[in-house]
Amino acid sequence: MHSNCGHGSIVCFDPVVDSKTKILILGTLPGPESLKAGQYYKKSNNCFWKIIYALYEQNPSTNYGDKCVFLLEHNIGVWDVLRYALRNGSSDADIHNAEPNDFDMFFKKYPNLKGILFTGKEAEEQFRTHFPVLIKSIRYERVLSTSGALAKPFNVKLENWKNAIKRLNQ
């Protein structure tokens, strides 16, 4: 088993998903702050949770468990493309020795999934590399990253996410 600490080895979290999940949000791998906290999108300047709640005109909870329940109540799941990788720091550009999660099995286990939202270019490229056949059979959209490293106004990111989810739900 790989460890979440030392020498940049990273293991993703379990997915936040249930049998009613229709849209799966896929990142690449959790960043250092998320790994330390054991929570998706923990970094303070990441607007993921703010966007998720804004999609439904709600104020974000501060409780991680409540956030996960909120996702599931709206038929949204979260996971990562990669199961394991080596990475120093938080940049996806520094990922190597990547092993993907088993999406062939995942889509069999969760047949209600209608589509994927990739949270950036690297997540989509990793999925495309590891699952060239599967990507042709599933609807997907790449949304603007919620990372603070992407210098776009919040309302631009929110509108991008709204439109992508609307297209997947058509």
Q: 97: burial class by Cβ within 10 Å (0-12, 13-18, 19+)?
A: exposed
Active site residue 46: yes
d(CA 62, CA 49) in angstroms, rounded, equals 10
Q: Which entry of 4, 45, 46, 63 is annotated as an active-site residue?
A: 46
- Cα–Cα–Cα angle for 66, 72, 76, rounded to 5 degrees: 125
d(CA 75, CA 113) in angstroms, rounded, equals 9
Candidates 34, 170, 59; CA nearest to 115 is 170
CB 93 within 8 A of CB 120: no
Q: Which positions are annotated as active-site residues?
A: 46
